């Protein structure tokens, strides 16, 4: 395939890509309209509502960007508990972390359209979850919101900085939690599974006139599994213990206005395979939402939030039978912010949304050594001030829709410092850094055209950016007894990306829907890892790294999707993504030019079936396959083989209020060649609703 702008030629690496692309193109564009017969019932799947593309509720069919909405039914029928696993089968999405392996440290495991890590923005009811110091939410596998409390998950692919600012380079994943309903909903469920895993979950929701309340929570503990195939005597299983509580109170101020207050507490301990090698994390999150829907007048949304994360990483002294606790890395952080917007009709075909957002994040890192007075740490603060605007235009009785948006982000980074009075390498240091100001203007444009009732043509273009985090700017990162030593880089520049996509959605028959999208992105100052020094000492190889800006990165690909509803109780889906993420130019390290970015297979297949028959059985089966070698986390020259997995959920209601289920993750015990996974994971449970 030829890059539509630069003219550079790229080829599919296997015949699979050509076959799949031709198949989808043929179905979408050459299927005769007469294929639908009178026997076809009307499409029973309703047009989902999405808020993450324009900050206002619109039908998915009117969105110019590629959007996937995972409904409450699909969330509850998924074999998984965590959001990162529930979304793994969406088009364009790749999860680098395989189920319960708890790999990847503090890195974000989700990649969308070739952009991964902290380049994918996560929101919960509009509250940003990407912590500016190191994204601790991704580190806990995005399992902090109880499954029962989630109404839907919206996935927008492509830059979202015009609406949400930093981190929205690859896209946004937006968790929308439930609102209390008039009819009381109460449920408890208990489950047990592989590795002596036990869990309990509860949910309650009810509305009393103008007041409503919702509460959900869960607790899980597991003996875990070994992270190596042949464990040494000093190695233990990767255990975990997790507790979480989410609550929401809602009050109707009048017929048009509502006030919501939500709170979350999350606490976990996860083992990493040795007695003195484990992590602890406590989260406290609070949000106050005000919503006014005036109908013909001005709508108003206001948000005030406060997030706190206390993360502690425990490191051992050695990998042997005599290891002891060596150090504790404590990383407390706070983020608070406010967001205010108003939406009003300015003319007959136009709706205008204007607003502003503020965010401040503070981070303190302290490395405490058990048997010494060594003092090591880092700190910093970031502030964002961001006005934004969005306009939706409708023409020809809503057959043609135009979306225009822009946001200006002013970022001030201050109070930066790092110090160590006895470093593993080099001389003692105590560095302080002056204030640094950056800014970014992020525009976007989108066009949606409905030439007929069955076809939607989409095109969008825009800019995304990500400011370097406090973790990247100031933290000296040491692992494996000093074998991995990453220097801080306070001179990092913000990442920028320009992207466009064109696509078509078509109802091929009343029961078969297809989608095909081509996307192209050009990134500048992409932040990557560069080796600065390699040396031998005591028979061991030591490497020093630094985070640095990569001059130019080219990302492009194709997404294809089919959804078939052969029966009222059966949904079938298949999607395929072909993606190339290549370093075009890197002035800091010319060796990397032409290499691919890490952790993104060239070919991604997802397929599945959902059968819903409460009187007999409910079944969900999901198949994921990743083809073509792809590069590992730190070495652009080290590749990993393709792999696949199948996941299954079977449930049955026995009588009113009582149901049972069985989940099997990784049914056929397939793993990628670099991960030692626990094999097939079996979990059985019962749920009682009253």
**Three-class SS state of 29:** helix
How many angstroms separate the CA atoms of 119 and 109, rounded? 11
Q: Cβ(79)–Cβ(649) under 8 Å?
A: yes
Closest CA to 287 of 317, 313, 308: 308
DSSP letters, 232-251, are: -TTB----EEEEEEEEEEEE
pLDDT at 153 over 80: yes
pLDDT at 308 over 90: yes
pLDDT at 10 over 80: no
**Three-class SS state of 416:** strand
**Secondary structure element (H or E) that encloses residue 150, with its range:** strand 150-157
Closest CA to 418 of 372, 374, 368, 380: 380
Question: What was the pLDDT predicted at 71?
Answer: 94
**How are beta strands 120-124 and 127-128 bridged, if at all?**
antiparallel
Share of the chain above pLDDT 70, in %: 85
Give 294's contacts (C-beta < 8 A, 6+ positions apart). 256, 300
Structure-token match 């875990």, residue found? 224
Determine which of 11-15, 174-178, 296-300, 485-489 has the lowest per-residue pLDDT on average: 11-15
pLDDT at 104 over 50: no
Here the tokens at position 421 are 């009075």
pTM over 0.85: yes
Which structural domains are found in the chain, ordered by start? 15-689 (2.40.170.20)
pLDDT at 197 over 90: yes
pLDDT at 102 over 70: no
How many angstroms separate the CA atoms of 690 and 660, rounded? 15
Give 592's contacts (C-beta < 8 A, 6+ positions apart). 528, 530, 550, 583, 586, 636
How would residue 423 be classed by pLDDT, with cut points 50, 70 and 90?
low
DSSP state of 61: G
Determine which of 39-48, 455-464, 518-527 has the lowest per-residue pLDDT on average: 39-48
Share of the chain above pLDDT 90, in %: 58
Here the tokens at position 186 are 């109460």
| Residue 686, strand partner residues | 190, 660
Here the tokens at position 47 are 């047009």
DSSP letters, 606-629, are: EEEEEEEETTTEEEEEEEEEEES-
Higher pLDDT, 229 or 180: 180
Q: Cβ(207)–Cβ(180) under 8 Å?
A: yes
Closest CA to 398 of 434, 351, 443: 351
Here the tokens at position 617 are 């059985």
The torsion region of residue 125 among left (phi > 0), alpha (psi -120 to 50) and beta comes to left
Q: How far is CA 29 from CA 38, 68, 155, 203, 447, in A?
A: 21, 22, 26, 46, 20
Query: Tell me: the pLDDT tens digits for 551-607?
Result: 899 999 999 999 999 999 999 999 999 999 888 887 767 767 777 777 778 899 999
Q: Cβ(82)–Cβ(98) under 8 Å?
A: no
**Three-class SS state of 666:** coil
Higher pLDDT, 484 or 15: 484
How many angstroms separate the CA atoms of 142 and 153, rounded? 12
**How are beta strands 171-177 and 120-124 bridged, if at all?**
parallel
Query: Tell me: the pLDDT tens digits for 522-543?
Result: 999 998 888 888 888 877 888 8
């Amino acid at each position: 395939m030829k890059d539509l702008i630069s003219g550079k030629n790229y080829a599919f690496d296997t015949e699979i890509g050509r076959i799949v692309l031709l198949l989808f193109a043929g179905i979408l564009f050459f299927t005769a309209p007469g294929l639908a017969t009178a026997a076809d019932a009307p499409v029973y799947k309703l047009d989902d509502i999405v808020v993450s593309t324009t900050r206002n509720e619109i039908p998915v069919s009117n969105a110019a960007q590629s959007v996937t909405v995972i409904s409450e039914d699909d969330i509850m029928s998924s074999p998984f508990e965590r959001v990162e696993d529930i979304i793994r089968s969406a088009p364009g999405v790749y999860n680098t972390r395989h189920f319960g392996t708890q790999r990847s440290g503090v890195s974000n495991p989700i990649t969308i359209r070739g952009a991964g890590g902290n380049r994918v923005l996560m929101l919960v009811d509009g509250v940003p979850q990407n912590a500016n110091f190191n994204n601790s939410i991704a580190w806990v596998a995005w399992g902090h919101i109880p499954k029962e409390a989630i109404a839907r998950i919206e996935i927008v692919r492509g830059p979202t900085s015009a609406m949400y600012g930093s981190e929205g380079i690859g896209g946004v994943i937006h968790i929308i939690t439930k609102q209390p309903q008039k009819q009381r909903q109460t449920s408890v469920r208990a489950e047990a599974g592989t590795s002596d895993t036990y869990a309990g979950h509860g949910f309650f929701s009810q509305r009393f006139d103008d007041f409503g309340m919702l509460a959900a929570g869960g607790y899980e503990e597991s003996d875990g599994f070994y992270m190596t195939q042949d464990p040494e005597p000093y190695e233990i299983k990767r255990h975990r213990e997790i507790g979480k509580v989410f609550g929401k109170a809602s009050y109707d101020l009048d017929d048009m206005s509502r006030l919501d207050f939500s709170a979350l507490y999350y606490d976990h301990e996860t083992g990493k395979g040795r007695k003195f090698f484990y992590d602890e994390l406590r989260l406290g999150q609070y949000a106050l939402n005000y919503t006014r829907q005036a109908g013909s007048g001005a709508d108003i949304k206001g948000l005030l939030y406060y997030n706190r994360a206390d993360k502690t990483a425990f490191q051992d002294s050695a990998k042997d039978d005599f290891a002891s606790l060596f150090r504790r890395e404590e990383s407390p952080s706070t983020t608070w912010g406010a967001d205010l917007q108003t939406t009003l009709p300015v003319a007959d075909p136009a709706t205008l949304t204007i607003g502003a957002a503020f965010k401040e994040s503070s981070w303190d890192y302290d490395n405490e050594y058990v048997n010494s007075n060594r003092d090591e740490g880092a700190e910093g603060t970031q502030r964002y001030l961001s006005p934004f605007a969005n306009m939706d235009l409708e023409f020809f009785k809503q057959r043609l829709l135009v979306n225009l948006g822009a946001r200006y982000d002013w970022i001030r980074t201050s109070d930066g410092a790092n110090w160590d009075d006895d470093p593993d390498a080099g001389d003692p240091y105590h560095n302080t850094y002056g204030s640094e100001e950056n800014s970014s203007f992020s525009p976007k444009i989108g066009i949606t055209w409905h030439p007929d009732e069955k076809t939607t043509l989409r095109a969008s273009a825009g800019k995304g950016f990500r400011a370097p985090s406090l973790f990247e700017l100031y933290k000296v990162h040491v692992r494996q007894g000093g074998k991995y030593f990453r220097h801080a880089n306070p001179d990092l520049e913000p990442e920028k990306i320009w992207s466009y996509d064109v696509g078509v959605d078509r109802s091929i028959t009343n029961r078969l829907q297809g989608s095909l999208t081509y996307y192209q992105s050009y990134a500048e100052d992409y932040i990557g890892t560069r080796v600065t020094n390699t040396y031998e000492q005591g028979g061991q190889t030591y490497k020093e790294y630094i985070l640095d800006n990569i001059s130019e990165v080219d990302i492009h690909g194709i997404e294809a999707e089919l959804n078939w509803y052969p029966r009222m109780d059966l949904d079938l889906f298949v999607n395929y993504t072909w993606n190339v993420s290549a370093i075009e130019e890197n002035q800091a390290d010319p060796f990397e030019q032409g290499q691919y970015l890490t952790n993104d297979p060239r070919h991604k297949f997802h397929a599945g079936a959902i059968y819903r028959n409460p009187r007999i059985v409910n079944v969900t089966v999901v198949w994921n396959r990743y083809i073509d070698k792809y590069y590992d986390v730190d070495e652009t020259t080290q590749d990993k083989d393709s792999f696949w997995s199948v996941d299954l959920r079977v449930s049955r209601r026995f009588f009113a209020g009582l149901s049972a289920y069985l989940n099997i993750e990784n049914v056929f015990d397939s793993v990628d060649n670099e991960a030692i996974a626990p094999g097939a994971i079996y979990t059985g449970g019962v749920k009682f609703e009253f």
